[in-house]
Amino acid sequence: MEELTPRQAEILSAVTKRYIATGTPVGSKYLCRVGGFDMSPSTMRSELARLETLGFLGHPHTSAGRVPTDRGYRFFVDNAAGDAAGRRPVQGPVPGELEGEIGYAIQEAAELLAGATGLLAMVSSPEQGDKAIKHIEVLQLQPDLVTVVVITAAGGVTRKLFVFDEPLDPGLVKWAHGYLNDAACGLDQGSRLLRIRLAEADLIAGERAFIGAISPALLETDDIAGRRLVMEGAPRLLSRLEEDSDFSARELIEMLDRQDVLLRMLRSALAEYRVYLRIGSEFTATAMRGCSLVAANYGLAHRNMGTVGVLGPTRMDYPAVIGNVEQTARCLSRFIEEIY
């Protein structure tokens, strides 16, 4: 790859920033008069033509101006937008803002990220791995209120509250704690074998009724905490794509409906310890060729557990999106650390 001169790099950065901000092709007159470049229009045209020849700029046939190509965006992101000094103030979640169950925290993070960027936000749930139950807590918070916490061997945590019509005997709650740890530990949460063991247990009526009432904490794993991928902001993404190009939304909509495809794309970022970017033609799927993906991982210091991503048009405000994605990932990591 031929290296750009410092002046060419500055011109490419100026064109990219201007086009991202306005969506209008950038001409030599603007760059010379407003862009701060001390050169003649003819010299500027020569440099723009050179950048076009090298594949960093395109030249719409209806305009005298230039627009960045996918290669031009990649150069801009790698050399300007990725620098911490060039980041914009973030508007996503702040440390301590996310709370509640892990599933609800992920939902809230996706909503805040979509609102901050105006694009499609995606957050994958932590990889659960081993679902074998490691420990169960049954705690009486009030006379008629019990919480059940289930911790799996992979570190997954689910927590459910149960409200009863009458005050409970504290001795029954204490018994249930010991009984469930003896009966359920080592079995997979939500498994058929666990259902059979609980159903066949030799219990008196009161014990059976109480275990039956709180058993959803062990048997139900398909609620919001079990979602594999949370997405927010799809209508805004499609609107932006339609504004920027002659875009057919059907193929992309079909892809967004297939979570397995999106999860494979996000999982490819799990091995990364920096921001993960894919721009336009860097995608293998043709439906994504007009898009860019910015993603970052969250989890524990020794293990990435999930991914935060924003999908938008190639003409996106990369510094702002990168900052918001990284901030959201940091907040989820802090939330995960507090749980585990």
Domain end point (choices 183, 208, 224): 224
178 pLDDT more than 70: yes
Which CATH number do you get for residue 267?
3.30.450.40
Is the distance from CB of 285 to CB of 310 less than 8 angstroms?
Answer: no
327 or 83: which carries more pLDDT confidence? 327
State the CATH number of the domain containing residue 165. Answer: 3.30.390.60
Is the same domain home to 192 and 144? yes
Q: Which of 113-117, 131-135, 198-202, 336-340 has the highest mean pLDDT?
A: 113-117
Q: Do 120 and 231 share a domain, yes or no?
A: yes
**pLDDT of 290 strictly over 90:** no
Kindly tell me the number of DSSP H helices and DSSP E strands found in the chain.
13, 10
The string of pLDDT tens digits covering residues 188-207 is 888 888 999 898 888 999 99
Predicted confidence at residue 262, as pLDDT, reads 80
- Point out the domain boundary residue: 206, 224, 242: 224
Residues 233 and 323 in one domain: yes
**Percent of the chain residues topping a pLDDT of 70:** 85
What average pLDDT does this structure show over 296-311?
86
Q: What separation, in Å, do the N-terminal and C-terminal C-alpha atoms of the chain show?
A: 46
Whole-number mean pLDDT of the chain?
A: 84
Mean pLDDT check: name the lowest of 54-58, 160-164, 222-226.
222-226
Furthest CA-CA distance within the chain:
93
Whether residues 205 and 300 share a domain: the answer is no
Burial classification of residue 215, based on how many CB atoms lie within 10 Å of its CB (0-12 exposed, 13-18 middle, 19 or more buried): middle
Instruction: Quote the pLDDT of residue 303.
Output: 74
Q: Would you list the DSSP string of 166-199?
A: SPPPHHHHHHHHHHHHHHHTTSBTT-HHHHHHHH
**Listed ranges 87-91, 106-110, 222-226, 238-242; the one with the highest mean pLDDT:** 106-110
Instruction: For residues 313 and 261, state if they share a domain.
Output: yes
Whether 231 and 297 map to the same domain: the answer is: yes
Is 211 inside any structural domain? yes
One domain for residues 231 and 329 = yes
Q: Where are the alpha helices (DSSP H) in 215-248?
A: 216-219, 234-244
Q: What are phi and psi of 78, to 5 degrees?
A: -70, -25
- Average pLDDT value for residue range 231-257: 76
> What integer pLDDT is reported at residue 104 of this predicted model?
82
Q: Are residues 120 and 256 in the same domain?
A: yes
Judgement on whether residues 231 and 335 belong to the same structural domain of the protein: yes
Residues 194, 217 within the same domain: yes
Pair 312, 240: CB distance under 8 Å = yes
**What domain range includes position 334?**
88-125+227-339
In this predicted model, what pLDDT tens digit does every residue of 82-129 receive, in sequence order?
554 445 555 556 555 565 677 788 889 999 999 999 999 999 887 655
CATH number for the domain including 49? 1.10.10.10
Answer whether residue 1 is part of any domain. no
Whether 332 and 233 share a structural domain: yes
pLDDT more than 90, % of the chain = 46
Q: What total of structural domains would you count in the chain?
A: 3
Examine residue 279 and state whether it is found in any structural domain, yes or no: yes
Last residue of a domain, one of 224, 243, 260: 224
Does 59 have pLDDT greater than 60?
yes
For the cut 90, the answer to whether the pLDDT of residue 35 exceeds it is no
